Structure 1
Amino acid sequence: MPEFRHRHAVLLAHAAGTQIVTFVLRPTMSYRAIELDVPPAWLGVLGASFALAPLLLALPAGHAADRYGERRMAVAGALFLTAAAIAFTTIGHTVAGLVAAGILLGTGHLGSVIAQQALVANTTERGRHDTAFGHYTFAASLGQAAGPLLIAAFGGQAAIPDTGSIFAASCGLSLLLLALSALLPNHPTGRAEADGGDLRALLRLPGLAHALLTSCVVLAAVDITLAYLPALGAELGLTASAVGLLLTLRGLASMTSRFFLGRLARAVGRRRLLVVSTLGAAAGMLLTPVPMPLWLLAALLVVVGFGLGVGQPLTMSWLAESAPEGMRGRAMSLRLVGNRTGQLFIPGAAGLMAAGLGTGGVLFVTAITLGWAGIAARRLPVDP
């Protein structure tokens, strides 16, 4: 038991550390681009450089995690994150250098996340995946919240922080993550077992399409909320501090639902919890653009955040228990491909469809899409 707790603590620390490094470097990359007077259109290119690796390399990375073990994949991911931090420091004074560093960052993040999710899937007893993935995503959310604090520490009252110092500090953080990677356990399946599996076996899993759909729509809804809530606040006359409070409440609500996910799933049932939470988030987002008192808007954002926090860990848990032995790394990577595809296309599609309706229209379309995903989740098997 003490050894299990030690390994569990190392895994959670690794998950939080990966997100800290990523959520320090990604915004700082944008600040550096602003320093270089990069045209706004190029900011999208920089963002796409991070998403490119998961789309192209996710399935091979999942196969490698299954075959060679999670620790080796985590070490490889940390090495790429370290290389990204060094690249930002040394060649990040040009647009080409920022793009190259962004690709390294996306690759390192991919390797680390695949290793973590495969490790949770392979080392958790059947029936406890909901709790395990809830705690895992809670730690990741904690890292995502802590990362920007480093930017604030270096930024002070300036509009643009000291990007050079942040990049240098990120090198040290990446090296710490590399040390943590070496402490993770390893569960390679070997050539025979890993090669004996077939991706088509995953694609034939009952309910797979609905699980991937729900996962990618929920993640896209989180991104849209982060991007459009400040714009909605400006339309409603809210202060920047009020919008920051709303985003904080949304994030805290998501972390709460993830921390207690195991108990909620046991009390309500996994499929019912996924459906109700997704539909609840859709209903809350649908009402968000309506003018109302700030306290009521805050309560709605708590509902939205709580519901959006459930989708990711529950679909991970479902995939972990559904995937054949020796293919769980590939199952997690398949989910990641779906997520990144949704992040690339759903926000753009929502913006195009609601171009004439303003920010409220974007949130309306997102809420409808989220409701559709919640209804689709009813077709998931009750248990894998």
Structure 2
Amino acid sequence: MSPFQLPAGELARLVLAQLFVNACVTGLRMAMPLQSLRLGHGEAAVGGLIALFALAQVFLALPAGRYCERSGLKRPVAMAVVVATAACAMAAAWPVLPVLCASALLTGGAGGVVIIAVQRHVPRAAGEAASLRQAFSWLAISLALSNVLGPLMAGFLIDSAGIRVALLGLAPLPLLAWLAVRGAVDHASPLHEAPTSERSVRDLWRHAGLRRLLLLTGLLSCCWDVHTFLVPVLGHERGVPASVIGSILGAFGIGAAAVRLLAPLVAAQLREWAVLLGAMVATALLFAVYPLVQAPLAMGLCSALLGCSLGSTQPMVMSLLHRLAPQHRYGEAVAMRVIVNNASSVGIPLVSGAAGSLVGAAGVFWAAGVLAAAGARLALPLKDH
């Protein structure tokens, strides 16, 4: 038995499932905008394409959360794997904008279902509240590593074999996720505990601490999405090869993974609100500097530092979310977090694409930095929870 009161093999299955599915999503999110730019589409079209990865999750999150409460882990993951694999194959066969848009919707929705299923599964499998922060840290590490694996894999495949091979090469990743999760033990909620009404969603939102946490995590997601959107655009404008753009985005994932590797070791000493406050301040400072650097190496360093800053927050957010949400409605609370995050992921690329045409990428970075600095005060009242 591991320190999480969760068998090491069980935790590894969940980590790998999240890693492989999200690596597929992040790889496509890096490759598809480059293909769109190469086809001659502008920044607004690229922003719309990236937004579609999140749009499906906005509408699917609550039904997916309730479905996971009824069905457990493996059935939702299996459905998501089929959808993501088919979407990769479809994009590889017809890499034109309408098909890329459809594939973005499908893979984004599939990735969201897997995240909800896995993160809802952990508290029921672990069973000990005191150790959940450590378990969530390992899940956060898997998401960070997926932000390394996906863009690097897509970038090198594009440069070496072309866009079709890159899109098709990402298709086996969801299948690996299914192989990882097959041996897991499901933990479905009793039927009488499953949330069944829209009223329950409004009641959860009325909880002041939960609402503040959801707003803060949505703001963090905005910062993440600004970076994900602008790096390929900046790289394309400066003539940076796809593999280097992938490496810059991969540096973000390395930074996030590195800081999350430390989290399980010092979880007992960390205060969630303090980590969130520090991350917001550091993000604001990095966004002020990022547009001023030109060399790919310097961009990679800023990306890695930003990954450290934003990557430190997810275990803290999930720990607070589990503490603030009613136990039998935790799957729904996770779904609400997914909705808030992906509402930002829909809006930010669209706004960034339009704003970038008016004020340039630097202006968008600086505006996001001001937003991060202003939002840091949301973390202060969370010290009472």
TM-score class, shorter: 0.7 to 0.9
Q: Is 2:151–2:250's contact at 8 Å kept on the other side of the alignment? A: no
* Residues 15-164 of structure 1: pairs in structure 2 closer than 5 A: 15-30=18-33, 33=36, 37=39, 39-40=41-42, 42-89=45-92, 92=94, 95-124=97-126, 125-157=128-160, 161-164=161-164
Q: Which moved more, 1:116-125 or 1:132-141?
A: 116-125
Choose from 7, 17, 33 the match for 1:14.
Answer: 17
1:266 and 1:347, CA in 2 relative to 1: closer, same or farther beyond 3 A?
Answer: farther
CA contact (8 A) 1:265 1:273 kept: no
Is the alpha carbon distance of 1:269 and 1:356 closer, same or farther for their aligned partners in structure 2, counting shifts above 3 Å? same
| Cα RMSD for the two superposed structures | 3.5
Contact 2:229–2:349 under 8 Å retained in 1: no
- Separation (CA, whole Å) in 2 of partners of 1:292 and 1:164: 30
Report the counterpart of residue 210 of structure 1 in structure 2.
212
Q: How does 1:186-335 map to 2 (within 5 A)?
A: 186-195=186-195, 198-228=200-230, 248-289=250-291, 303-335=305-337
Q: Percent identity?
A: 24
Is the 2:91–2:167 Cα contact (8 Å) retained in structure 1?
yes
Separation of aligned partners in 2, 1:361 and 1:51:
24
Displacement, 1:255? Answer: 1.6
Q: CA shift at 1:163, angstroms?
A: 3.5
**Partner SS for 2:384:** coil
| AA of the residue aligned to 1:118 | R
- The question of whether the paired residues in 1 share the 8 Å contact of 2:47 and 2:349 is answered with no
TM norm structure 2: 0.83
Whether the 8 Å contact between 2:31 and 2:154 is mirrored in structure 1 is yes
Give yes or no for contact 1:72–1:186 (8 Å, CA) kept in 2. Answer: no
Q: Which moved more, 1:220-229 or 1:54-63?
A: 220-229
Q: Decide whether aligned partners of structure 1 residues 186 and 359 sit closer, same or farther in structure 2, where only a CA change above 3 A counts.
A: same
| Residues 358 and 171 of structure 1: CA distance in aligned 2, closer, same or farther (over 3 Å) | closer
CA contact 1:24–1:148 (8 Å) conserved in 2: yes
SS at match of 2:328: coil
Q: TM-score, normalised by structure 1?
A: 0.83
Q: Distance in 1 between matches of 2:299 and 2:72?
A: 46
Question: How far is 1:340 from its partner?
Answer: 0.9
- Sort the Cα spacing of 1:354 and 1:29 in 2 relative to 1 into closer, same or farther, 3 A: closer
The answer to whether the aligner puts 1:183 opposite 2:183 as a matched pair is yes
Kindly provide the amino acid, as one letter, of the partner of residue 191 in structure 1.
L
1-side partners of 2:294 and 2:121: how far apart?
45
Residue of structure 1 equivalent to 2:165? 165
8 Å CA contact 2:155, 2:245 repeated in 1:
no
Is the contact between residue 154 and residue 170 of structure 2 (CA under 8 Å) also seen in structure 1? no
Name stretches of at least 5 consecutive residues in structure 2 with no aligned partner.
none
In structure 2, relative to structure 1, the CA distance for the partners of 1:56 and 1:94 (3 Å cut) is: same
Residues 92, 167 of structure 2: 8 Å contact kept? yes
Contact 1:351 1:362 in 2 (8 A): no
The structure having more radius of gyration, on CA atoms, is 1
- Cα 1:381–1:44 change in 2 (3 A) is same
Q: CA deviation at 1:177?
A: 2.5
Shift of 1:336: 0.7
What amino acid does structure 2 have at the position aligned with 1:374? A
Q: Aligned to 1:326, what secondary structure does the other structure show? A: helix
Counterpart Cα distance in 1 of 2:189 and 2:332: 12
Gapped regions of structure 1 (runs ≥ 5): none
Quote how far apart the aligned CAs of 1:257 are. 1.8
